Amino acid sequence: MKTKLLFVVLFLLSTKLNAQSWAQPGAHWFFQDGDNAQIGYSGYIEVSKISDTLINGLMCDVLACHHVGIKWWTGGTPYDYYSPNQYTRVSNDTVYQWQNGQFYVLYVFNVQPMNYWITGPGFYGTGCTGDTITIDYSQTVNINGISMQKLIPEPYGSIPFPNGGASIFLHDTIYERFGCVSFLFPIDACVTDIPVPQLRCYSDSSGFTYSRNISPSCDFVWTGINETNYSDPLSVYPNPTSDYLTVLSNFNPGDKITLFDISGNAISENVINSSGSHVNIATSKFSNGLYFLEVKTGNRVIFKKIFVQH
């Protein structure tokens, strides 16, 4: 009887310790947002634990998501808004995310190499259904005096579906204390024009801090072309789109832009007659859904996935 009681106590203590390792009081994440180009947008996403709540009788973390930055395609318009709160909970070694009325696995920290878990839908809610995160290797690391698990997933697209998945991006280094260094939640990789945010820094009320030193400050907003080495030769916006799509690049005569529907039918074709920087494609007559953009420029062929959403 004493042995059973000791086992139960140890189990509860281990569960409590695991629970304390996730979403600490005052947990605060800053992620880089945007492509830092004058044809795109730049800023940051601030995620903060603001409270706890009960969902289906289970204690959950309430995480507020604050978006701040500048939209360059509208002439430098600032944006500052909150997207809907996110909710997470921890049970033993697993963190769950509440999405669409149910809990999905977000992270599994005590996982063996080549084992995997399946995520829920993406943060932006564009129809991506999930992904399989296969772990290449895991190790225990010490950061600023705190011991935690570090997971290295297989690179995105390196393993065929279903073990590699095809629609969600969560394949960067994952730390037990603060999650993935690409973004805390799964990103809809089927919308290729949304840059995957990168973790800038994390802190919590215990005094623990972590910074990747990829920006001058956690809440830095890029404001000048000389502050970046941006070199992407092609930009497509807005995506998702409703009335029109702008394709921006250094076009030359003979370059061709073709939009295909999901069945592979060409529904719009543009052949460049003179040098220029952008082409507009009317999309108001197209139905909601996924399309594919093919851009042939010089000796290169570039593909983009496009979503039409009226």
* Low-confidence spans in the chain with pLDDT less than 50: 1-19, 161-165, 225-232
Neighbours of 188 (CB within 10 A): 23
Residue written as tokens 């709540």?
53
**How far apart are the C-alpha atoms of 66 and 47, rounded to whole Å?**
6
Long-range CB pairs of 275-280, under 8 A, 24+ apart, other chains included: 275/250, 275/251, 276/251, 277/248, 277/249, 277/250, 277/251, 278/246, 278/247, 278/248, 278/249, 278/251, 279/246, 279/247, 279/251, 280/244, 280/245, 280/246, 280/247
Check residue 63 and give its pLDDT. Answer: 97
What's the pLDDT tens digit per position in 9-57? 333 333 333 445 788 999 999 999 886 655 578 889 999 999 999 999 9
Q: What pLDDT was estimated at residue 81?
A: 92
With tokens 């909970």, the residue in question is 89
CA angle 114, 120, 121 (to 5 degrees): 130
Task: Give the Cβ contact number of residue 279 at 10 Å.
Answer: 17
Dist. CA 74–CA 124, nearest whole Å:
21
pLDDT at residue number 39: 59
Sheet strands (E) in 109-159 = 116-118, 132-143, 146-153
- Tokens representing 150 are 């570090």
pLDDT of residue 20: 53
